[in-house]
Structure 1
Amino acid sequence: MLPGLVLLMGAVRALQPVSDPDTFWHIAAGGYLWEHWAFSGPDPWSDMSTQPWRLHEWLPQLGMSALYDAAGLPAVAWLLPVGVVAILLSLWWWLRRSTSLLITALLMAVVFVGMSGSLSLRPHLVTFALTVVTSGAWLQTSLDGKSRWWLVPVTWVWACSHGMWFIGPIIGVVVVVGMCLDRRLDLRACLRLVLVPIASVIAACLTPVGPGLLLSPFEVSEYTSYVQEWQSPSIRDVGFAAFVALCGVLVLIWARRGRPVPWVRVLLVGSAVGLALLYARTVPVGMAILAPVAALEIQKATPLLREKVSRREVGLTLGAALAGLTLAGALVPSTSAKPGAGANDLDSQLSTLPAGTTVCNDYVLGGWLIWKHPNIRPAVDGRTEIYGLDYFKAYLKFQSGSPGWEEYVGRVGCSFALLAQTDAPAAGLVHQQGWSVVRAGERYVLLRAPN
């Protein structure tokens, strides 16, 4: 029952109000797609965006919008438990091929902790689940040498769901290189296996976004130093600490074994460590790559035997997952009927603003404004890559109240501002620029520019 219990607890733990600021604009993007079916082009919501907007996460966005139209925000909130269960089920499926029940359950729990800081309602949940699937599949290929061509359509779905789809082909190349270094492949076999990641990249270019999808990672890279989730991880983060602990266990096992470790596993672990050290957002991706390798090594280092996967285990595991999702579905109307983020207590004032009103807004409110108040043109939102880097730097200066922050207001030409009451710009606009308070909410304040 242990894997099923982890699944049940994961589903219930993921039950929460919609509080990720980006979730809201993802819902709105799905609605825009259903109406216009345009996957790239000018941004329809902000007058300050200057870069083309590519909807490379269109598949989950369509699903989120359809659920919202059918059953409201609680139905969208239920997708987070669904995503967590999908990740944990993928782990169980691949880990149990080589690992005992006890080790599988423990690793599922460790991976859940390692990903906990990033388990929010966004399409990146697809990346976490499919990284587990791809890592497990390629690790199995390193053992039996078989080409798993089904990874090509999986990559196509991945490329329609999240911008980090390229992790899958990279894992494939890493494994093929490792097998060559281990001298397990001749040239012909190497070429046969490497065709899978090559075909996967070609498949990604055949999504509705087209080959322009290949440019998406480079478009975001300029902004990584300015967004919190793209900062380097800290050992004080529980998720990164869990990743480091699992790496430590693996290194200890290798050190005690006293014989060479296959290059495939060394390179996979090295890739996982590199991703985890790169950004806080990629720690879960590193954990998804690390877990299947750790499962093989921990199983060898313990006297536990791998039990055969029985119908009873499958029934208990899937039954617990279904029970967790059913319980989450029953509770979600009471826990997630209202947004967990946004200036919800200022809705009435915002809804009366004239259509097309430009608002100088707090960064975290941009997506919520796009979703909740289509009459407003936000000055910035979580889609940082569609705003010019120079403009985004000017916004950060405004947000922090640095010298020259007033220039941003003139640049945007906003007639209203929706800001956190504790932020420097709110006080500066009132006391230095003569703006008036329309209404102050619990956390945010709506300001009007002087005539």
Structure 2
Amino acid sequence: MNRVMTENAPIQEKTVWRWSLLWVTGLFLLAMRPIEAFDTFWQLQAGKYIWQTGAFLYRDTFSLAADAYRMEHCWLHDLILYGLYSTGGYFLLSLLKPVLIALCGGLLLRWAQQRGGNPLVVLPVLTLCLIGSSDSWLVRPQLWTFLLSILILVFLYRGRERGWRSWLWLPPLMLLWANLHAACIFGFALIGAFWVGECWRAWRGSSSWRTLGQLSVCGVLTFAAAFVNPYGYRIPLGELLAHFNQLQVLTGNAPVGMAGNMEWLPPTFAQVPWFYLIMALWGATLLSRLWRRQLEVAELVYFAGFSYMGFSQIRHTTLVALLAGFFLPLAIQELLTGRERTRTWLARPVPWHWLPGLMLLAALVWGAAGAGRLGLGVRADQYPVAAADFVATNRPAANLYNAYDWGGYLMWRLYPDYLVFIDGRSTSPRHFAASDILDNGWEGWRALLDEYGINTIVTRTCFYDSGGPLPLIDGLVQDRDWSLVFQDGVAVVFVRNDAASRELRSRFAIPSRQAYQTMLEEAGRLQEEGYERPRTWLALGWAAFNLGDGRRALDAYRHFLGIVPTNLEAQSRIALLQRLYPGGEEAGR
């Protein structure tokens, strides 16, 4: 009997590993999406610069705001990106995301398995938490924050179970984190919340004060490790200051450049329904344990802190959803095992217990593949690829003005021949303010183009966040000082009408009104992405109107008015169209 049990034990463990690997592989496939983050390319350019020069960045070297201070808070991540690109191009670079997401999922699954988690409960709940984090599955440094946050939690709780030596991993993890991403400050919060829980356990006699002292020493060493980076105190403490600046968005007192950034606004249920569901489930399990007086204080502190993070700023909801996966699967299983029959059933996992979770993940992969969201390389319609080719080949006169989102890509493609005007890492309040005036076509926009010596403009035609039409396009189309020389379904390129551009205009000038064809295609593409952007209907209506498609314009404005019935712009445009085109028939303007 003993011999049989001994021989069967490794077979059972091997089976668990095989099922686990199958689930992690499915997660890898689900995260295998083309590069689509705007920030990826300024990070690539920074990594290239650091690698080639052997120097860190302290100035905004790649933009017209070259004198502005720049802290490259993710310099090690930048080097990794450039190393991957240099080795295997965009193909290898795009594999970084699914690898890190699969590691996160594998760690969370293993943690639950080692504590008796049954795959019938654990896999669906973990899948829910990971889907809740999927909006941040981008080639950006927060992927390292995802992974390192999980590792910090693992070693904190392992230290409680196995002894303080597990906590010795915390300082080197923080040292790595502080050089990969400035969000390392979040590690302080994770350790602090656990420390509060250990204080409670020591006071209640569940742990010793000596153990608490050991944790405190490791915590101090971990805090000190965050300062070992090329920028010293600015990375951990500067990120803390940035957090308080971000909170000013809620009061309307945000620094220039933060106001209007949708990442720093509170979320709504329509934007992140999975986050709301995850927090509701987690809260319910905590209430149940509170009722039974089995609540774990550290977990309660984590829940309170994560709730504050997620409900105050939408940018935090993905990290919170992911880290809920550390607690929620086992918490739900504990709740379900309150009944004797369920407890007996879940206590002995059998192979079919894996099937619901695997089938759920397979369905998600199938759906993503069917929607065309999976793949490797670069998602070309997110970036002005052809426009950058046009500028690099034909070399219109500098200086360059560009859309905020595309600054990173353009510096990657065009530096050092061109400096971008603004990008996702800009720190110049002056350039942020100027960009707002230019994009919105506010009073003085022409004077700003003259002031900065702008001779070439590479821009999108819709605001990326809201999907609404970019007023700058109207100004450029109507201004005789500017000519459209390039247009495709993604970007437009305008050049100043002067002697320097005469030869270029003679070869490539096209009717400026063709910019509205780009607007039409861009607005349609933004709608297909599935995010809530009702103002894309305004862009569709305005573009169709300027292209002479009265019927389509009227339909678009009516659709928008159905969403926002009080919108005066849509009301006035509908009235105008009805006067110009009675019956809504198609006609030219």
Report the CA distance shift for 1:87/1:225 in structure 2 as closer, same or farther (over 3 A): farther
1:395-410 residue pairs with structure 2 within 5 A? 395-410=435-450
Q: TM-score, normalised by structure 2?
A: 0.67
Which of 90, 94, 101 pairs up with 1:77?
Answer: 94
1:118 and 2:158 equivalent? no
**Superposed displacement of residue 227, structure 1:** 2.3
Residue in 2 aligned with 1:341? 382
1:166 and 2:206 equivalent? no
1:101 and 2:119 equivalent? yes
Task: Indicate the larger mover: 357-366 or 227-236.
Answer: 227-236
Report the CA distance shift for 1:296/1:224 in structure 2 as closer, same or farther (over 3 A): farther
What is the alpha-carbon distance in structure 2 between the residues aligned to residue 306 and residue 361 of structure 1?
59
Report the CA distance shift for 1:242/1:424 in structure 2 as closer, same or farther (over 3 A): same
Give me the identity figure in percent: 21
What is the alpha-carbon distance in structure 1 between the residues aligned to residue 348 and residue 176 of structure 2?
33
**Superposed displacement of residue 270, structure 1:** 0.8
1:277 and 2:311 equivalent? yes
Task: Indicate the larger mover: 84-93 or 407-416.
Answer: 407-416
1:56 and 2:73 equivalent? yes
Report the CA distance shift for 1:144/1:335 in structure 2 as closer, same or farther (over 3 A): closer
- Which runs of no fewer than 5 residues in structure 2 stay unpaired? 1-17, 246-254, 338-342, 462-468, 499-589
Residue in 2 aligned with 1:419? 459
Secondary structure at 1:417's aligned position in 2?
strand
**Superposed displacement of residue 291, structure 1:** 2.3
The answer to whether the Cα contact below 8 Å between 1:11 and 1:82 also exists between their aligned partners in 2 is yes
What is the alpha-carbon distance in structure 2 between the residues aligned to residue 306 and residue 151 of structure 1?
33
What is the alpha-carbon distance in structure 2 between the residues aligned to residue 215 and residue 38 of structure 1?
23
1:250-261 residue pairs with structure 2 within 5 A? 250-257=282-289, 258-260=291-293, 261=295
**Superposed displacement of residue 73, structure 1:** 1.3
Residue in 1 aligned with 2:528? none
Task: Indicate the larger mover: 175-184 or 121-130.
Answer: 175-184
Report the CA distance shift for 1:193/1:334 in structure 2 as closer, same or farther (over 3 A): closer
**Superposed displacement of residue 189, structure 1:** 3.4
Report the CA distance shift for 1:194/1:229 in structure 2 as closer, same or farther (over 3 A): same
Residue identity opposite 2:212 in structure 1: C
The answer to whether the Cα contact below 8 Å between 2:47 and 2:78 also exists between their aligned partners in 1 is yes
Residue in 2 aligned with 1:359? 400
1:19-418 residue pairs with structure 2 within 5 A? 19-98=36-115, 99-142=117-160, 146=164, 148-182=167-201, 183=203, 184=206, 187-217=209-239, 218-219=241-242, 221=245, 222=255, 223-237=257-271, 240-257=272-289, 258-260=291-293, 261-303=295-337, 304=343, 305=346, 335-336=376-377, 339-352=380-393, 354=395, 357-374=398-415, 375-384=417-426, 386-387=427-428, 389-418=429-458
- Which runs of no fewer than 5 residues in structure 1 stay unpaired? none
- The superposition leaves residues 172-210 of structure 1 with CA deviations (integer Å, 9 ceiling, x where unpaired) of 111111221342455543332122222112112112333
- The superposition leaves residues 68-111 of structure 1 with CA deviations (integer Å, 9 ceiling, x where unpaired) of 11221111112121121122112112222222222221232012
**Superposed displacement of residue 213, structure 1:** 1.8
The answer to whether the Cα contact below 8 Å between 2:198 and 2:207 also exists between their aligned partners in 1 is yes
Secondary structure at 1:200's aligned position in 2?
helix
The answer to whether the Cα contact below 8 Å between 1:169 and 1:198 also exists between their aligned partners in 2 is no
Report the CA distance shift for 1:252/1:212 in structure 2 as closer, same or farther (over 3 A): closer
Secondary structure at 1:54's aligned position in 2?
coil
Residue identity opposite 1:149 in structure 2: L
Task: Indicate the larger mover: 93-102 or 359-368.
Answer: 93-102
Higher RCO, Cα 8 Å, sep 6+: 1
Report the CA distance shift for 1:437/1:273 in structure 2 as closer, same or farther (over 3 A): same
The answer to whether the Cα contact below 8 Å between 2:396 and 2:456 also exists between their aligned partners in 1 is no
Q: TM-score, normalised by structure 1?
A: 0.86
Aligned pairs, how many? 432
What is the alpha-carbon distance in structure 2 between the residues aligned to residue 53 and residue 43 of structure 1?
5
Superposition CA RMSD, Å: 3.0
The answer to whether the Cα contact below 8 Å between 1:78 and 1:332 also exists between their aligned partners in 2 is no
- The superposition leaves residues 269-289 of structure 1 with CA deviations (integer Å, 9 ceiling, x where unpaired) of 111111111222211221233
What is the alpha-carbon distance in structure 1 between the residues aligned to residue 111 and residue 375 of structure 2?
35
Residue identity opposite 1:109 in structure 2: T
